[in-house]
Chain A
Amino acid sequence: MRHEWTSFWHSGVSPHGRDVDMLFGGLLLASALVLGLLFFLLTLFCIRYRVSNAVDRDHRIRKSWHWEVTWTAASLLGFLALFVWGASIYLDIFRTPPDELSVFVVAKQWMWKVQHTGGQSEINALHIPVNRPIRLVMASQDVIHSFFIPALRLKHDVVPGRYQDLEITAERSGHYHLFCAEYCGTEHSGMTGEIVAMEAADYAGWLAQQSPSASLAQEGGALFRELGCSGCHGTGSKVHAPALEGLYGNPVPLSDGSMVTADDKYIRDSILLPRSQIAAGYEPLMPSFEGKVSEDQLLRLVAYIKSIGGHRS
């Protein structure tokens, strides 16, 4: 496995990566200036005003106000500039991505399981096409992990109990490190992997070559029937339950009068904690599937509901 990008001096391979590198350069420059000034003054004073050196030492500075105001104001301005620069890139990195090519990532104690919507699944590896934004939907099965790709200058913690969105884009093909950056137990340092960015053609070839048994949505459909969801939500059922066709991505009126859009999070919460957000006009009959459904199965159910939502997954 050739690790093309390793050392510190290679620039980031994502659009944000280059911005972060420039920011890092700016921070380095500012620090170098301050340190240079400080070391120069320290050495100058230590040499010039050492005790054995007879030099003019009277009419010392009395009023220190204007000195104080200058270096306080200078630091304030410098810090504000760095804050605004850093914040603008940060908001750009974590803006909630529109729904491009989605890949589901499940973090489990000491491995990464990646599911492509076409059904291909990988362990500790993620193949992505170059120059296409990929939306990672990440969930953790147990403790807090953190999906960290140094080459893309990007990481996001994967906190159990909720989905995390993360948009990644690789601009150059190659193999890049994947680390778990949040301490998660014994094999924390073993929970690493590889991001393989490939040209579009190679990626399509790779996808076809995986020969998945069935796409995520189809496996979700099978689960939908196995777990008995179709009993109530199916077309021919006599039970008064909300229809799921055309649900995904559209607003849902809730019993307490508020509105919520049916995104991944809403579907996942409705399966695990059905009584927390009850659809308007329906009784809270649905049993909770907490503990009966693993994160992988949840992903498939969400993919299935997305596929029957009349929405291009």
Chain B
Amino acid sequence: MNPKTIKWIIFVIVLSAIVLSVYFVSLDRGSFRDGVFVTTAAFLTLFIMSFLYKDNPYYKFAEHLFVGVSAAYWMTMGFWGTMVPNLVAKLWPGSVRGVLPALADKDPSLWFLIPLFLGIVLLMRLSPKGGWISRWALAFIVGTTAGLNLIRYLRSDFIQQVNNTILPLVDKTEAGISFWGSFSNIFIFVGVLCGLVYFFFSKEHKGFFGGAARIGILVLMLTFGAGFGYTVMARISLLAGRMTYLFGDWLGLIK
């Protein structure tokens, strides 16, 4: 049989499966709406899964649908969640009376002219000549990112982590010195220092320094191995969830 015929046969099978599914699920749940919903979700799930075998038209369909729907979803959320309450309502409170009455009677806040201006400036890219002015908006964004993150990372990732690492190397408990506790603390101490040595840019990894960097890499490898192993179970539960949907909610094989 030539490949084209096979493709058409598969298409007919899939199509009839969808129709049958809608019919039976509607019958089972007593609502056509449910039938359509459950079937759509189930077949989209199968279409995506088919990618694991290889790329195919069904995956392409699901993928393209996903892109369109999700792009519009986030745009809508941006419009109703940010644009209207945080810009329009802030500048012209009266204009949102019809949609967000709670915000309509507040005083306008002129600070929000800044993002309005920058937003419009960014859109100047669409004009063939004034495109360069959009750089102003980009400059503002990059400045904001740099300024905010500098202190944020300094606080949470630098200062706090140094603080956490200051531990006594000898772990004294009421019962005397705990071997495991002390060993763990020494491990953390050495591990953090060697890890930092590994990240040094201005010194060649040679001699004692090289040895420390080597230990640093090994500690990082332990970290990565542990991180990987730890996440596996959660990932499988996601699959189990999808399978429960297919075999339970859709086919009704799992009660």
Report if A and B associate in a common complex.
no
